[in-house]
Amino acid sequence: MRMLSAVAGAIVVGVAFYFTLFWGSEALRMLTSSTWGLDEGSRSQFLFVIGGMLGLKPLGLIKLAAFFAVLKLAVAVICAIHILDRFRTLVSGKADTDVLEVALMFIVAISILAVGPAVWSQEVSLAREYTLQLGLAGLAVALCLFERRAERPTAAKQAPAVPNWRWYSLWH
């Protein structure tokens, strides 16, 4: 069981490294762009769809793009911090996956929002990329839950000794 937990931790670190690199670089590209990443039609298609559903004007679309860029950068930073936390646990302690799980939930939400317009506009490569990210985030969340379950003591070790309940019985 300990070996499976170590393998799960290694996979979670790999997924966190993937999102640190790719989402961090995409967020920095969006933040340094003069149009906040809206100039790439295929990658920003989900922003236009969300902006259309919310009835946003051009300034609102720019604010929405900036919001998603900052959110992606925050997720990348959280993943980098989690990687450092995992390396810290090699020396001593236990890795805290609570913040990483929240970041992975953001990844799942953004990937779901982005894969729909990619499929509707028939951007196969973009749909494949967001589906891969969705799957990786789901796998990492499942492995974090597996690690949490493996660290919890079993019910037999937790349960206190059953007291003698004969004095409470109605039949005596």
pLDDT score, position 86: 86
Pair of tokens at residue 85: 């936390």
pLDDT tens sequence for the chain (172 residues)? 567 777 888 898 899 999 999 999 989 988 888 887 787 766 777 788 888 888 889 888 888 888 989 999 999 999 999 999 888 877 776 777 788 888 899 999 888 888 888 788 787 888 888 889 999 999 998 888 887 777 666 554 555 555 555 555 555 5
Cα-to-chain-centroid distance, residue 4? 21
Domain parsing of the chain, residue ranges: 2-152
Which residue type is seen at 4? L
Closest CA to 108 of 82, 80, 137: 137
CA distance 7 to 119: 34
pLDDT score, position 38: 80
